Structure 1
Amino acid sequence: MPAGTPLQRAVTPVTAALITMLSLGGCASAPEAGSTAPARAPIPLELQADAVATREFGLLAGGGWAQAWALWNASAQQVIRQADFVRLNTVCRPALGVPYVVAATTRIDQETVRVDWRRADAVGSNTLLYQAGSWRFVPDAASLADYRLGVDALVRKRRAAGSCH
């Protein structure tokens, strides 16, 4: 897919599961020597990264906190432990069932893809990095800064802003 080509769709847990299954379909083994079966073309980098972003957004919209955290890159995972991320989103639950809509997926370089999204009235973008053989989701800088506050302080901040449901 050319850089900057928009992909528009609502990301729901069902959509995320379907895209994940489809992306895994490209992992079939190569045909045996002498086989006449055509070789499968590799899945383009943007589609691989987009599948991870779609899965992440579906998990976030559906409350799959531990699974969403598991898709993050290692440096983001160092900012907040998985158990704390789950506790944060359980104690101060964001709106569930509101889908993310991916507006565009843009390849920055061979190891970096940016995904632009909207969710209700909110808009944003996230980066995905290709590390150690897989695409990893990177929460945005503002979210990482909030996570550095610690769970209790962030819950107080979110409650004061009325963002707990």
Structure 2
Amino acid sequence: MRRCTASVLAGIAVLVLVTGCNTAPGSTPGNPSAPPAPGPGTTQEPIQVNVADALGTAQQEFTLIANGDWSGAWQLWTAEAQQSVPEEVFVEANKACPLQAGVEFELQEVTPVNETAVDLTWRRDDTVGNSSLRLDGDTWRFDPGGGVLVEYASGADETIASRKAAGSCPP
């Protein structure tokens, strides 16, 4: 019996040793798929994203808006944003009541999030906003952000009325 117990204990010890050797550094045995936590002196790999291409799309979007090409600007949006705001609503609201017509955008901050996303903070006159760029296949698409999508959610007439009530629609 003693020999059997010793064999079982030796087997458990080997199993624990093997399992411990196969656990990724920084992960716990209960969560072996967790990525290792960076330790002191450890450097993380930089995000590999072509920020210049992403910013080219942002600049194109901002130029189209500043020039009043609402349809062209909407065409650069992500599929999700286009589904949230129909092109007709975006174009009609902005033709009737353009916000800060002719005012250029200035980038304030550009933050690569991962290989397929870049977040932007921009300023346009006294307005500061946040948008994103998303890589769709090999094309960067503009995500105007939730605030913009909410503004147009109730349709062009409501957007125009809201802008007029706020005094942000040119006379």
State which of 126, 145, 158 in structure 2 corresponds to 1:153: 158
1:116 and 1:142 map into 2 onto residues whose CA distance is 13
**Matched pairs, number:** 123
8 Å Cα contact 2:57-2:141 kept in structure 1? yes
Shift of 1:95: 2.1
Residue segments in structure 1 that go unaligned for 5+ positions in a row:
4-43
8 Å Cα contact 1:50-1:115 kept in structure 2? no
Is residue 2:107 matched to residue 1:102? yes
Number of the residue aligned with 1:137: 142
TM score, norm. by length of structure 2: 0.68
Question: CA deviation digits over 1:120-165, x for unaligned, max 9?
Answer: 1111121110012210000111111111111111111111001111
Alignment of 1:69-108 (within 5 A): 69-108=74-113
Shift of 1:104: 2.1
Q: Which structure would you say has the larger RCO, counting Cα contacts within 8 Å and 6 or more residues apart? A: 1
1:139 and 1:65 map into 2 onto residues whose CA distance is 13
Give SS of 2:84's match: coil
Give SS of 1:78's match: helix
Number of the residue aligned with 2:56: 51
1:159 and 1:61 map into 2 onto residues whose CA distance is 20
Residue segments in structure 2 that go unaligned for 5+ positions in a row:
1-45
Moved more, 145-154 or 48-57: 145-154
TM score, norm. by length of structure 1: 0.71
State which of 36, 52, 61 in structure 1 corresponds to 2:66: 61
Give SS of 1:93's match: coil
Question: CA deviation digits over 1:13-62, x for unaligned, max 9?
Answer: xxxxxxxxxxxxxxxxxxxxxxxxxxxxxxx6100100000110111111
1:94 and 1:126 map into 2 onto residues whose CA distance is 17
Give the partner amino acid of 1:46: V
Number of the residue aligned with 1:10: none
8 Å Cα contact 2:89-2:152 kept in structure 1? no
Alpha-carbon RMSD: 1.3
1:145 and 1:110 map into 2 onto residues whose CA distance is 27
8 Å Cα contact 2:97-2:160 kept in structure 1? yes
